[in-house]
Amino acid sequence: MQKKIAHSLLLTVICGALFACGGSRSNDPVEPTQSALDKTLQLVVDRQIIPVAEKFAAAAASYGENADNFCALQDANSLADLQQSWKNLALHWYHLLPYNFGPMKNDVVFPNFMFVDAYRLRGTSYTATVREEIADVIATSEPLGSGYFDFLPFQKGGLLALEVLSFESANQQRDSDAIVQSYAASSARCELLTGHAAQLVKRAEAITVGWQQSYNGETRSYRERFLAAELPDGTPPLTELLTVVQEHLDYLKQRSAVTSVAQIADIPWELMSATVAEVDALLHGRQEDQFNFIAVMRSAGAAQAADTVEGNLAFVYQSIDARNVTDFEVGVSLLDGNFKREIPNGLDVDLGITFTDGD
Q: What is the predicted pLDDT for the residue at 45?
A: 96
Tens digits of per-residue pLDDT, 175-218?
999 999 999 999 999 999 999 999 999 999 999 999 999 999 89
pLDDT of 152 strictly over 90: yes
In this structure, what CATH number is given to the domain that contains residue 31? 1.20.1420.20
Domain limits for position 125: 2-346
- 49 located within any domain: yes
- 354 located within any domain: no
- 352 located within any domain: no
Burial of 67 (0-12, 13-18, 19+ CB in 10 A): buried
Tens digits of per-residue pLDDT, 41-50?
999 999 999 9
Q: What is the predicted pLDDT for the residue at 122?
A: 83
- 136 located within any domain: yes
CB 346 within 8 A of CB 305: yes
Q: What is the predicted pLDDT for the residue at 260?
A: 96
pLDDT of 242 strictly over 80: yes
Instruction: Give the confidence band of 32 by pLDDT, cuts at 50, 70, 90.
Output: low
Q: What is the predicted pLDDT for the residue at 22?
A: 35
- 358 located within any domain: no
- 144 located within any domain: yes
- 274 located within any domain: yes
pTM, 2 dp: 0.88
Instruction: Give the confidence band of 352 by pLDDT, cuts at 50, 70, 90.
Output: very low
**Count of structural domains, the chain:** 1
- 357 located within any domain: no
